[in-house]
């Protein structure tokens, strides 16, 4: 009986917090098609892929600040509770709230979307460099290189980030960074590789 009571309490708390979050986000974020941009960030992980990306492209540079926030998302107890509570929420709440998405998936989708926004995404360069330098997920670091190569040509900080990534622990990231450096700054690449391997 107590266990059931605790489950119901967690569900009600999650629904309440979700409703509060919805109201706060609705007031503080730009709204697109009646939903805040954070809803669209989460929607990138719901399997509707191309349709959702089409909506995001229409937002242009207005989407970048929300996507940058998504790059910093991490899983925590709040997300775990939300994911457990989601199937038990009433239908009206599920219609208003976004489906729970793992943080790593959300970050990956945000990088994909920034890449699709192309040069509009230039303000995201510092956040993408942080992903490249610090994220523990190899696939995300590799995607960050791919995105930076697309949006960061002739940007010195991007060139320096690629040079640093030549020492990444992942062979795949090092290879992608090598090719990206040659693409964005051929002269610097020639200089770096002429010097031979060293700790940078």
CATH number of the domain bearing residue 28 = 1.25.10
- If you average pLDDT over residues 37-52, what whole number do you get? 59
Could you give the CA distance from residue 194 to residue 101 in angstroms, rounded to a whole number? 45
Write the pLDDT tens digit of every residue in 149-173: 999 888 899 999 999 999 999 999 9
167 in a domain, yes or no? yes
Could you give the CA distance from residue 105 to residue 48 in angstroms, rounded to a whole number? 14
Could you give the CA distance from residue 99 to residue 198 in angstroms, rounded to a whole number? 46
Number of domains present in the structure of the chain: 1
122 in a domain, yes or no? yes
- If you average pLDDT over residues 162-185, what whole number do you get? 94
pTM over the 0.95 mark: no
Write the pLDDT tens digit of every residue in 101-138: 777 888 888 898 898 888 889 999 999 999 999 999 99
Q: For residue 76, what pLDDT is reported?
A: 64
For residue 24, pLDDT over 50 is answered with: no
Q: Which residues pair with 31 in a beta bridge?
A: 36
Residue-number span of the structural domain to which 166 is assigned = 2-195
Burial (CB count within 10 angstroms: exposed 0-12, middle 13-18, buried 19+), residue 34: exposed
200 in a domain, yes or no? no
Could you give the CA distance from residue 60 to residue 185 in angstroms, rounded to a whole number? 27
The residue among 27 and 80 whose pLDDT is bigger is 80
127 in a domain, yes or no? yes
49 in a domain, yes or no? yes
71 in a domain, yes or no? yes
């Amino acid at each position: 009986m107590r266990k059931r009571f605790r489950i119901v309490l967690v569900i009600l708390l999650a629904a309440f917090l979700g409703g509060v979050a919805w109201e706060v986000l609705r007031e503080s974020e730009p709204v697109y098609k009646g939903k805040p941009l954070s809803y669209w960030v989460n929607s990138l992980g719901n399997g509707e892929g191309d349709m959702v990306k089409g909506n995001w492209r229409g937002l242009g540079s207005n989407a970048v600040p929300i996507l940058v926030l998504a790059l910093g998302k991490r899983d925590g107890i709040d997300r775990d509770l939300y994911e457990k509570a989601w199937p038990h929420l009433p239908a009206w709440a599920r219609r208003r709230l976004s489906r729970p998405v793992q943080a790593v998936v959300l970050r990956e989708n945000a990088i994909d979307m920034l890449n699709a926004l192309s040069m509009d995404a230039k303000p995201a360069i510092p956040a993408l460099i942080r992903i490249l330098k610090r994220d523990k997920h190899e696939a995300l670091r590799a995607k960050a290189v791919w995105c930076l190569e697309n949006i960061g040509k002739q940007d010195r900080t991007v060139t320096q980030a690629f040079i640093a990534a030549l020492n990444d622990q992942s062979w795949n990231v090092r290879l992608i960074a090598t090719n990206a450096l040659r693409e964005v700054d051929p002269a610097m690449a020639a200089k770096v590789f002429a010097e031979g391997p060293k700790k940078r």
